[in-house]
Structure 1
Amino acid sequence: MNGNQPEEFWLGVEQFNDGQFYACHDILEALWIEATEPEKTLYQGILQIAVALYHLENSNLRGAMILLGEGTNRLRRLADHNNYGINLRQLLIDSVNFLRAIQQEKPEVVSTMTLPKIVRSNPPDTDSKVSKTP
């Protein structure tokens, strides 16, 4: 797998980062159904984290903890081969830290915490016409 993800993946990433977790789930689920490994594991891990955050928004801490655990366990399998176009290790670290925090905090504290984000490891070239001088 290389860092070239389909356009739908980047839409799902944008939705994830905008807090549109259910919409992100729908986009990534469609990709996951058609994907082969290792993309299949990548998409499923991210969509499970998205659904966990959706559960959290709806005060379902138990569901959030279960899916954060499942999603991070899937992404752990891919962490050493990060050529997916995103900073997978950072998403994994942030998600695991978030899981640990919600396991220890009261629901009212959890609502004030910063949610994990997905960061591109290789942002798209915004100025492809820049000339290279020797």
Structure 2
Amino acid sequence: MNPINQEQYFTWLDEWERQSLQMQTNQDKAWETITNQLENTSHAPLQVLPRQRFPLNLYGLAVSLLACVLIAGYLFKDQWQIKTLKTQPGEVRTLELPDGSQVILNSNSTLSYNRFSFKNQRNIQLTGEAEFNANIKKTTLLSGSTPPT
């Protein structure tokens, strides 16, 4: 746009806005209305509103969520509490238990133990065949069980 034309456009726009006012205001009347409202208001002390309590439905939601987590933890405790080591058919694997004992797990075998209490109670469950090199420096015995055949 040409700067001369742009200047002419803004001049005409200003002239039009001055002739066609969008709203007519009476500043004196507005000031008078505001001062009257301020004078007529009572100067009573402000009320202290009671503190709103935490909504009860959120407490219910929190309790039910906690209950769901606890029930799920109980139902799936074997999945996170018991560590299971497996070998496939034809696979032989050397493993180390948390106490330092070594296990050679033969093919198609399963070894399970409690991952949280194994250092205090060295109990294992074995299905299949395994060779153990137990850590004899421990004061607790390494005990095991196999499922009945």
TM-score by length of 2: 0.18
More strand by share: 2
Q: Which has the higher contact order (CA 8 A, sep 6+)?
A: 1
More helix by share: 1
